[in-house]
Amino acid sequence: MFAQHAAKYLSETSGGVMCYLATMIPMDDEDLKRVSRHIADRQGWGFITIEEGLKLPRAAKALKGDEVVLFDSLTALVQNNMFEGGDYRPEYEAENIKEELKELAKACKHLIIVSDCIFSDALIYDEITEAFRRILGHAQIQAACVADVVLECAFSNIKVWKNEADIDIKAITDMYYTLNSHLTYGDI
């Protein structure tokens, strides 16, 4: 949710069009429900939606240049590419991710990349899951290199790791906390 507020803030301050880059490729009912919930979350926010779960250059081509893009998420993109068509593709290493993210960022006004932290638990994973962690880790480091701003969001707490664009992070967090003061147990 924080990223939606960041998109709204950047849209208001830059005059950009809010654009949601949806990456989930639904595989079952649970996925479809999650997609429905995400759509409901965004209702009334003014997002246009681009659906592209595999190829970032295709998403870049679909943009006009005046959008504030909320790319949700790098995790899903890596997963979709690793298991394109339902089969595990061990050859996928996200080796072009840095250039693809640069291209996507150039194609719009602002780009917000959402990812997940799956790197700090005490479990021994199977080879494929471990490969997923490794490739997502690589993709995140590349994303952090490309980005002007890197934020960690943990239980609504925001830690600024990098801010080279002089973005007013406090203004975004203030907006986020104000609008989410109604959150109750069960909200996700």
Q: How far apart are CA 89 and CA 135, in angstroms?
A: 12
Q: Of residues 1, 35, 62, 150, which one binds other proteins by CB under 8 A?
A: 150
User: Which residues in the 36-65 window bind other proteins by CB under 8 A?
Assistant: none
* Amino acid at site 154: A
Q: Does 88 bind other proteins (CB under 8 A)?
A: no
Q: State yes or no: residue 144 binds other proteins (CB under 8 A).
A: yes
State the helix-helix crossing angle for 127-146 and 74-82, rounded to 10 degrees: 140
Strand partners, 159: 152
φ, ψ dihedrals at 55, nearest 5°: -115, 110
CA nearest to 93, candidates 155, 58, 142: 142
Binding window for other proteins (CB under 8 A); candidates: 39-47, 64-72, 113-121, 171-179: 113-121
Helix ranges (H only) for the chain are 2-14, 29-42, 56-61, 74-82, 97-106, 127-146, 169-179
| Shortest distance, position 168 Cβ to other proteins, whole Å | 20
40, 123, 165, 188: which one binds other proteins (CB under 8 A): 123
Which one of the spans 42-50, 83-91, 94-102, 121-129 is the region binding other proteins (CB under 8 A)? 121-129
Minimum separation from the CB atom of position 145 to other proteins (A): 7
Closer CB to other proteins, 40 or 154, in the complex: 154
Binding residues vs other proteins (CB under 8 A)? 117, 119-124, 133-134, 136-138, 140-141, 143-145, 150, 152, 161-162
